[in-house]
């Protein structure tokens, strides 16, 4: 089954459509089969009841015919002896004259199987039909005689129609005349009953097919609605996805431009000015050396000091772009260095606490958590007005957690950072990328940002429960 399905490369929309329609089709098919089966069963019971009632009516009619016929010659039969040929001939004439309808008649056989009366089929008279068989192999005359020996009864058999000669189903009622060793009876063809029941069954099948057509039409309409609604939803979602993608792309471009502007400002305001100062110092030192001024060494020392400051500034910018300590020592030392630099640069009191992860976090997780901490500190510096900020990184039984809190005035709804700030959106997207969660709690007494990382993002989570909840060291700056 799988190699067969592997030949088809279904898109996500097609898989979703199949997932929505296959249960519906299967359910409708099962319901249709159940409805058809129950309809056929109910109709068959009703048709069988109708057939039985119609045949019972014909049987009652046959019994009434035989009773009337016996009443017609009973005065003769009752007064005649076993060998009264004159009385027997008189009774034969009476029965031969008793015909009814187009095909109704009375017949008489003796116990040896010789036909004595058959007004509709006179070629059978005075011939022995003991071995007569119908189309189904039933020995009809023998069944007549056997039933008469037991008293009276009905025999269902095939018999050629007097008018066409074609065999048709007949029900006969026979009664014995034991004194003369005769079997008399009459029969009626029930092909009209069979035609009626066959027509009823055909009508049931037509109604079942019509029901199937109705159910199929309803199913097709439902599938069309599912397909149409799915198509509309797909188009709507695609448009929303395109809009979000454009928005995300624009935000990426804006972030890149903002980062480029920040780096350009730091290069211009920091390194460029330091290098200009170094150049002036070197020029001044060269002129003093040419003039034999003893202060040339002092000027050269200032230039070397400015060059050292430029080197430190380059390292700081490089660390902001991608701290090497993050790859070498892990998340804790990198965030610690970030917090210390933040405190030294802004004068805000900082506190850092962490647990030893032994570099068990995935590289992407370390980068995401570092960037979130970096973005949070930037927001604290720009918007919070805080005098104290604390960062805590811990492990627990379900993963890891980073918590950043400050004592600032909180996020005001009028600030664009709250609802539309790219910083918070970036933090949220980074948390989603590592399958984690981001919570931001803000009030007038400060703001708390909490990031949860799932256990699946830790390379070797064994021992987190024992060590992760213990604070290994706390640093203040």
398 lies in some domain: yes
Q: Quick one: what percent of the chain has pLDDT higher than 70?
A: 85
Q: pLDDT band for position 163 (50/70/90)?
A: confident
What mean pLDDT value characterizes the chain? Answer: 80
User: Which of 143, 171, 189 corresponds to the end of one domain?
Assistant: 189
User: Which of 169, 189, 209 corresponds to the end of one domain?
Assistant: 189
pLDDT at 130 over 90: yes
User: Which of 172, 189, 206 corresponds to the end of one domain?
Assistant: 189
CA distance 159 to 165: 9
The CATH number for 172's domain is 3.30.450.20
The CATH number for 388's domain is 3.30.565.10
What is the predicted pLDDT for the residue at 463? 46
Q: pLDDT band for position 477 (50/70/90)?
A: very low
Bigger pLDDT: 412 or 21? 21
First-residue to last-residue Cα distance in the chain: 65
Q: pLDDT band for position 127 (50/70/90)?
A: very high
pLDDT at 152 over 70: yes
The total domain count for the chain is 2
201 lies in some domain: no
pLDDT at 107 over 90: yes
Q: What is the pLDDT of residues 301-333, one digit of tens each?
A: 777 877 787 777 777 776 666 666 676 777 888
CA distance 370 to 338: 9
Residues of the domain holding 355: 325-476
Q: What are phi and psi for residue 473, nearest 5 degrees? A: -160, 145
């Amino acid at each position: 089954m799988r190699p067969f399905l592997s030949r088809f490369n279904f898109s996500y929309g097609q898989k979703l459509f199949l997932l929505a329609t296959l249960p519906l089709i299967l359910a409708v098919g099962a319901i249709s089969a159940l409805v058809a089966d129950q309809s056929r069963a109910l109709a068959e019971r009703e048709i069988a009841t109708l057939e039985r009632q119609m045949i019972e009516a014909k049987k009652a009619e046959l019994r009434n015919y035989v009773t009337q016929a016996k009443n017609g010659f009973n005065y003769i039969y009752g007064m005649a002896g076993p060998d009264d040929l004159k009385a027997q001939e008189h009774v034969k004439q009476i029965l031969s004259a008793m015909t009814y309808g187009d095909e109704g008649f009375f017949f008489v056989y003796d116990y040896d199987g010789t036909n004595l009366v058959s007004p509709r089929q006179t070629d059978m008279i005075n011939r022995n039909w003991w071995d007569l068989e119908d189309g189904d192999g039933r020995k009809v005359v023998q069944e007549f005689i056997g039933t008469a020996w037991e008293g009276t009864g009905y025999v269902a058999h095939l018999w050629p129609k007097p008018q066409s000669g074609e065999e048709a189903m007949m029900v006969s009622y026979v009664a014995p005349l034991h004194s003369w060793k005769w079997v008399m009876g009459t029969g009626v063809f029930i092909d009209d009953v069979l035609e009626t029941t066959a027509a009823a069954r055909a009508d049931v099948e037509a109604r079942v097919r019509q029901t199937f057509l109705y159910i199929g039409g309803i199913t097709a309409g439902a599938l069309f609605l599912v397909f149409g609604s799915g198509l509309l939803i797909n188009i709507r979602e695609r448009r929303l996805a395109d809009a979000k993608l454009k928005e995300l792309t624009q935000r990426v471009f804006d972030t890149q431009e903002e980062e480029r502007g920040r780096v350009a400002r730091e290069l211009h305001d920091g390194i460029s000015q330091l290098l200009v100062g170094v150049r002036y110092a070197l020029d001044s030192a060269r002129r003093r050396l040419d003039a034999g001024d003893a202060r040339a060494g002092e000027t050269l020392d200032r230039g070397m000091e400015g060059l050292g400051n430029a080197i430190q500034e380059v390292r700081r910018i490089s660390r902001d772009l991608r701290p090497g300590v993050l790859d070498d020592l892990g998340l804790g030392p990198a965030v610690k260095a970030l917090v210390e630099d933040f405190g030294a640069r802004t004068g805000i009191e900082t506190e850092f606490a962490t647990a030893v992860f032994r570099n068990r976090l995935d590289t992407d997780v370390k980068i995401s958590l570092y960037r979130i901490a970096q973005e949070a500190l930037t927001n604290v510096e720009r918007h919070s007005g805080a005098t104290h900020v604390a960062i805590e990184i811990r492990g627990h039984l379900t993963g890891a957690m980073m918590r950043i809190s400050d004592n600032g005035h909180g996020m005001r709804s009028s600030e664009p950072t709250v609802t539309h700030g790219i910083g918070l959106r970036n933090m949220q997207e980074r948390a989603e990328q590592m399958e984690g969660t981001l919570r931001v709690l803000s009030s007038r007494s400060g703001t708390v940002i909490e990031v949860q990382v799932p256990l699946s993002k830790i390379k070797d989570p064994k021992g987190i429960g024992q060590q992760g909840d213990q604070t290994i060291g706390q640093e203040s700056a």
